[in-house]
Amino acid sequence: MLPTPTQFRRDNQKTAEKYLGLGAQAARKAGMPCATLCVTDNQPYTAIVKIAHSKKNDLIVMRASSRKPLSLRLFESETRKVLGRSNIPLLIFH
């Protein structure tokens, strides 16, 4: 049976908080300041750019999840949309 939309959002929020917590913990262990935020939006790139600018971030970090070459991933992804709509440097990791 499929989860309800509410269950789906709640489960995704819990998963996001888990992984964001792990990343923040690793950053702090390395002596780096780190703040995390989980936001849901129908257009993720819009939320990413809007929040990065409102928080005055100096870097946006995104994961490349596809196994395709980077040049192909950039042209069909949220990453490309963020890159085209923000003047904040973008670090892509695989």
Q: What is the pLDDT of residue 63?
A: 79
In this predicted model, what pLDDT tens digit does every residue of 29-80 receive, in sequence order? Answer: 999 988 888 888 889 899 999 999 999 999 998 877 666 666 665 556 888 8
Q: What is the pLDDT of residue 40?
A: 85
Structural domain tally of the chain? 2
What are the two backbone dihedrals, phi and then psi, of residue 7, each rounded to the nearest 5 degrees?
A: -65, -40
Asked whether residue 28 falls in the same domain as residue 55, the answer is no
Asked whether residue 43 falls in the same domain as residue 24, the answer is no
Asked whether residue 62 falls in the same domain as residue 17, the answer is no
Asked whether residue 50 falls in the same domain as residue 83, the answer is yes
Asked whether residue 15 falls in the same domain as residue 50, the answer is no
Q: Say if residue 25's pLDDT is above 90.
A: yes
Beta strands in the chain (DSSP E): 60-63, 90-93
What's CA 53's distance to the chain center, in Å? 14
The percent helix, strand, coil of the chain (3-state, each to 5) is 50, 10, 40
The range of the structural domain enclosing residue 24 comes to: 1-32
pTM of this prediction?
A: 0.71
